[in-house]
Structure 1
């Protein structure tokens, strides 16, 4: 039995790679090769090029250069991320990039559509927030590629944004804090200052465990985050409990340049403490929620809470506003205040009416 032949003008450069190319003669009779992607995409592109050649159309300049693959523009974006983003954000981008490369590595960048991206998202069993993060990274990849002249359009813009459920905010209640604190003290009491620092500053995990002593000023009671999650510098004031925690950490790790002794994260001791304390559905990031929630419940205005948290937009902070019902309650309680008794005073409009009539006669 004869082996089936490939479609005319279509070939797989590396057998088994599933990356297909086309070969054709353009309108000027010059022989050309072009990477297409899947076999189906190659067949469609070959037909398109043949029609263009018959119509006498010249290839646009961008096709006279090598077609940029997704892997190429992804590499450019990862280089940008490493230079312009915080270390933790870069690591997240690098991890997600591996997933994206698994989907689209050798595809021509301009051949990827919003439908292709959406199909990949639908194959995953993800919470709504996860595809949004991948969508944001894809959008960054294509924005940079457009700026570099490698593609013309950003397909991620056409992928719908998922609605995220950020309504529920998990924070420590006073009894939970007591139980959790006891659990930490019983197993690893030297970690209490790290716990207190998080509760009283609202630092992100990466900010706290990347904090250098050179960025801390105990006399001024402030610490500096050189580059926060959104890429800006911010200054964090220190209350008495935070200062005390930092002083203890200084004594615990006198030789370390890092405030928390060089540890990268608290998972090794924090998660066992949560289990011992029977505090469920809680993570280290919830300590940041606790910091914000307690500020709001203490009557601190939302704009100040936004500044203390380092949120780029106030929309991120507004979700804590339901924890401070006093200002809204005060507003509706005004309806309970008796209104003034209406008076019998009337306004004499005769003078006004006479003036109006005279003006009409003059005109």
Structure 2
């Protein structure tokens, strides 16, 4: 039951401990109350109904006796005036807390809100812990343009690529924070992104795009090294050798291959589909001849986890192939990364005259939104098969594993398949005239 009297220190100290929470009111400042719990906790609050609100506003001031009665009355009077001006002190307090959110807290909220792949999450975490560690527990608002310029310059002394990556991650967190944390009246608390100063001052490092790939002359020794290591290695080594060879013959990304499961593979139809890709678009592709033989070998080494590139670990799949890849490098003398294999595949496709839209589909690259024609190009695995087989055959020919004549026939078939019906008829007419 509520009781109303003028608050004094003795009167508040003498209040009996209740069996349930009670509220007493101060006669000195209308709206100032003290709540008393069965545990004896005494808390000053403002409890007042204001216009436009169905129920009274409850504003916590502090605990008695840490907060004196005089201090409570002053704070209550100020809070009541704010309420009279249609300003809720609770909302002000929440906005104040949000304005002090730390970089680490923003990062946690960002990771919870974004569907990041495991590799992306590991990369972002590395940036936060290694390159922005000094700012993790500090308010995001403390990271100003001057801090951005200083840290970007400092990190660039060690690695220009890591410096740019760090600032791109920071830019993404500020962009996220802008809409995630709002103040009073839904006002932006982080309206300004300080990383923008790098673009304004043209301070981003001009890092040339990588163009490394396995050259045609390196393919024979590379294939020989992969095959030799696979023939003499244990199951994990065999799996990585199969992985790198399929990466070269399909141009797929590491994450796409490692995420491939047997329920995505249709050996009867010689096709497979990827549901988890970098750009989020599903992809359905044909299984070419050499890839088919790789998958047959993988089936013989099947495990219950269901991954194509399985491994004997808790995850049931290869987690990090670097050790075996280093063995291939040492055995062949060919320096390469998995992404170099993707570039080798693409370069080979281009040299064969494979159409741009076909290459984009094989690589799962998105076309520009303003490319109207791309919206009408629908390529199924069967329509992609001639080109995919031609690329595989060319790579195997360069490696000395198939005779040139066979590859030439396949290239001719791929060329015919890529022509429209009108072009095919024109070609047939020309060939008929030549034969006569």
Query: Which TM-score band (shorter chain)?
Result: 0.5 to 0.7
**Which of 282, 286, 289 is 2:343 aligned to?**
289
Q: 2:256 aligns with which of 207, 213, 217?
A: 207
* C-alpha deviation, 1:298, in angstroms: 0.9
In the TM superposition, 1:161-176 aligns within 5 A as 161-166=204-209, 168-176=210-218
Structure having the higher Rg: 2
Matched with 1:22 is none
User: 1:181-330, aligned counterparts within 5 Å?
Assistant: 181-189=223-231, 190-191=238-239, 192-261=241-310, 262-280=317-335, 282-312=336-366
Measure the CA separation in 1 of the matches of 2:93 and 2:350: 55
Gaps of at least 5 residues in structure 1 are 1-28, 32-58, 316-363
Q: Describe the SS at the equivalent of 2:205.
A: coil
- CA deviation after TM superposition for structure 1 residue 200, in Å: 1.4
Pair 1:88-2:119 in alignment: yes
Is the Cα contact below 8 Å between 2:271 and 2:285 reproduced in 1?
yes
C-alpha deviation, 1:268, in angstroms: 1.7
Deviation at 1:289, TM superposition (A): 1.0
State the number of aligned residues.
258
Q: 1:117: which partner in 2?
A: 148
Question: The residue matched to 1:289 in structure 2 has which SS?
Answer: helix
Alignment CA distance shift 1:108-1:194 (3 Å): closer
Q: Which has the higher contact order (CA 8 A, sep 6+)?
A: 1
| Alpha-carbon distance in 2 for matches of 1:88, 1:268 | 18
8 Å Cα contact 1:69/1:108 also seen in 2: yes
Q: Which moved more, 1:224-233 or 1:187-196?
A: 187-196
How much does 1:123 deviate? 1.2
Distance 1:291 1:147 in 2: 41
TM-score norm. by structure 2 comes to 0.53
Tell me if 1:147 matches 2:186: no
Matched, 1:157 2:196: yes
Counterparts in 2 of 1:233 and 1:132: CA distance versus 1, 3 Å: farther
TM-score, length of structure 1 as denominator length: 0.63
Q: Distance in 2 between matches of 1:116 and 1:284?
A: 36
Q: In the alignment, which of 52, 56, 68 is matched to residue 101 of structure 2?
A: 68
Deviates more, 1:61-70 or 1:114-123: 61-70
Please tell me whether the aligned partners of residues 225 and 234 of structure 1 are also in contact (alpha carbons under 8 angstroms). Answer: yes
Q: Counterparts of 1:118 and 1:221 in 2: how far apart (Å)? A: 53
In 2, Cα distance between equivalents of 1:295 and 1:68: 50
Q: Please give the alpha-carbon distance, in whole angstroms, between the structure 1 residues aligned to 2:176 and 2:342.
A: 33
Q: Structure 2 vs 1, CA of residues 62 and 73 (structure 1 numbering), >3 Å: closer, same or farther? A: farther
Which moved further from structure 2: 303-312 or 292-301? 303-312
8 A Cα contact 2:252 2:363, kept in partner: yes
Q: Which runs of 5+ in 2 are unaligned?
A: 1-73, 77-88, 183-188, 232-237, 311-316, 370-436
Instruction: Quote the Cα distance in structure 2 between the aligned partners of 1:256 and 1:106.
Output: 40
Give the 3-state SS of the residue equivalent to 1:188 in structure 2: helix
